[in-house]
Amino acid sequence: MVEMNGFAMTVEFYKNLLDRLHIKVEVVRAGTYKSAVEPFFRTNLSDNNRDQLQAILDDITDTFVWDVAESRGLEPEYIRRQMDNNGTITAKDALESGLLDGLRYDDEVRRSLALSAGLDPDDKLRTVSFNSYARDSRKSMKRGPDEVAVVYAVGSIMPGKSSDVPNPFLGGKTVGSETFMDAIRRARRSKRTKAIVIRINSPGGVAPAADAMLREIREAAQELPVVISMGDVAASGGYWMAMGSQTVVAEPLTLTGSIGVFSLMFNASGFMDETLGINYDGVKSGPYADMYSGLRSFSTEERAMLQRSTDQIYRAFLGLVADARDLEVDDVDRLAQGRVWTGMAAKERGLIDELGGLDRAIELAVEAAGIDADQLGIRVYSTPRGFLERFSQPLVRALVRVVFSVSGSDAANHLMKTSNHLSDLIGANGKVLARMPYLIETR
């Protein structure tokens, strides 16, 4: 079967779950479109959220239609009719529609590959897994006297050390400010480094951590050309840190922008009392000493304090973007409000400079540094790990593979991702966040 049924985007809502657990959520936000916090107090999309998600989905659909049409030598309107009228078709129908080149069994495909490579078709075809290929490609990065350093920022932005292993029980990948800053410093201090490319794939995170990473990027940009390369997502705090460079490259469908901030506060007193039968009492030195305890709701004064802090960080975010993108603050405010854009839409609005992948970002870095192609080297920087990390992380990776293989179904894997996502948010309880707090899944 061949699916040509288009795309759908779903957002998870947690209000009913929180109500059943007797957990209350305090939400403070800055930005009309920072509706990303609505899963905690709504059971459906607001009009603003629906508008922005539909715009993203339309860009995804347009890109798919044009790419498939170009690849197959067909008209875009023909591809759209296939999606609208047929949905799911058989392989035979797909062949007759020009969507496929042929119908082959696995052994026939392998035999064809062997013949194409000039090998004996009767010999076993040696293959390599995608993960091994990606890992070996990184190890074999080109070396030369003049290097472009590639520094990755992957995962939710948090203070402290990074975790590059998705934990199936406690949370997903994180990029720690200390880890990232150390990698940037080592890259710019190397005599070989002539330019730096920062590859961001992050929905954002804790605002002060993103700001610390931004400063380190700015420090490097005073000495060397720095180019930002955005992956699948570089939103909120991920976009914040991208403002450290004058050159920003994004994929056409990168989820970016989301210029806005929010704070979440979970009040679990009802859960502890009514569900578990545990209640609390105590003393404090002042009226606000226990405001972040998670065992009571905010008072009017406390909510005003947090709203003031959130608004101040939002205004700082607007000023940061205005300076970096050479825009007026009021113009940025109209583009901001927490709204998420695709790379294509961000390019049209001046939020990024170019559309392209990591290779294009490296090309721009080479041009800016004036590196001769014959002298070019590319080096990926990561933070050195201690013995315990080197020993334990392969075990955790193996555990992740086991858990996901045992869980098996898409539904079980989806629940695992949701658990990781909520774990990240709960861990940032009471902090001002610059991140996308919902999961967007496009199917």
d(CA 268, CA 25): 9
Kindly state the percentage of the chain with pLDDT values over 70.
82
Q: Which amino acid is at 137?
A: S
The residue among 352 and 87 whose pLDDT is bigger is 352
Q: Is the pTM of this model over 0.85?
A: no
pLDDT at 297 over 80: yes
Phi and psi angles of residue 124, each rounded to the nearest 5 degrees, phi first: -70, 130
Q: What is the pLDDT of residue 348?
A: 97
Query: By the 8 A CB rule, do 209 and 178 touch?
Result: no
Give the tens place of pLDDT for each residue, 316-333.
999 999 999 999 999 999
Whether 125 and 113 have beta carbons less than 8 Å apart is answered as yes
Burial class of residue 12 in the structure, from the number of CB atoms within 10 Å of its CB (0-12 exposed, 13-18 middle, 19+ buried): middle
**pLDDT of residue 103 exceeding 90:** yes
Point out the catalytic residue in the list 24, 34, 194, 347. 34
pLDDT digits (tens, 9 = 90+) for 162-205: 876 554 444 468 899 999 999 999 999 999 999 999 999 999 99
**Lowest model confidence (mean pLDDT) among 312-326, 328-342, 384-398:** 384-398
- The bridge status of strand 432-435 relative to strand 204-206 is antiparallel
Q: Has residue 394 got a pLDDT over 60?
A: no
Phi, psi (rounded to 5 degrees) for 133: -60, -45
Helix (H, G, I), strand (E, B) or coil at 343: helix
**Residue 434 clears pLDDT 70, i.e. is over it:** yes
Residue 141 has pLDDT above 90, yes or no: no
- Residue 402 pLDDT > 80: no
| Cβ partners under 8 Å of residue 94, min gap 6 | 2, 4, 100
For residue 362, is pLDDT > 60?
Answer: yes
Report residue 432's pLDDT band, with 50, 70 and 90 as the boundaries. Answer: low
Please state the rounded mean pLDDT for residues 277-301.
91
Q: Is 92 noted as a catalytic residue in this protein?
A: no
Would you state the pLDDT for residue 263?
Answer: 84
Task: Give the least confident one: 106-120, 326-340, 359-373.
Answer: 106-120
Per-residue confidence band for 35, with pLDDT thresholds at 50, 70 and 90: low
User: Is position 34 annotated as part of the catalytic site?
Assistant: yes
Secondary structure E strands in 163-270:
174-176, 193-202, 204-206, 226-235, 247-250, 255-257, 261-267
Q: Find, among 57, 58, 59, 64, the residue nearest to 99 by Cα.
A: 64
**Alpha-helix runs per DSSP H in 73-121:** 76-85, 91-96, 106-116
What does the pLDDT read at residue 398? Answer: 54
Taking 50 as the threshold, does the pLDDT of residue 387 lie above it?
no
Q: Is the pLDDT of residue 160 over 50?
A: yes
State whether residue 214 is helix, strand or coil.
helix
Catalytic hit among 236, 258, 263, 269: 236
pLDDT, tens only, 422-431: 666 665 666 6
Please state, for a pLDDT cut of 90, what percent of the chain lies above it: 54
Residue that has been written with the tokens 């203070």 in this structure: 159
Which range has the worst mean pLDDT, 154-163, 197-206, 407-416? 407-416
Domains and CATH numbers, the chain: 2-23+30-116 (no CATH), 141-258+339-436 (3.90.226.10)
Mean pLDDT of the chain: 85
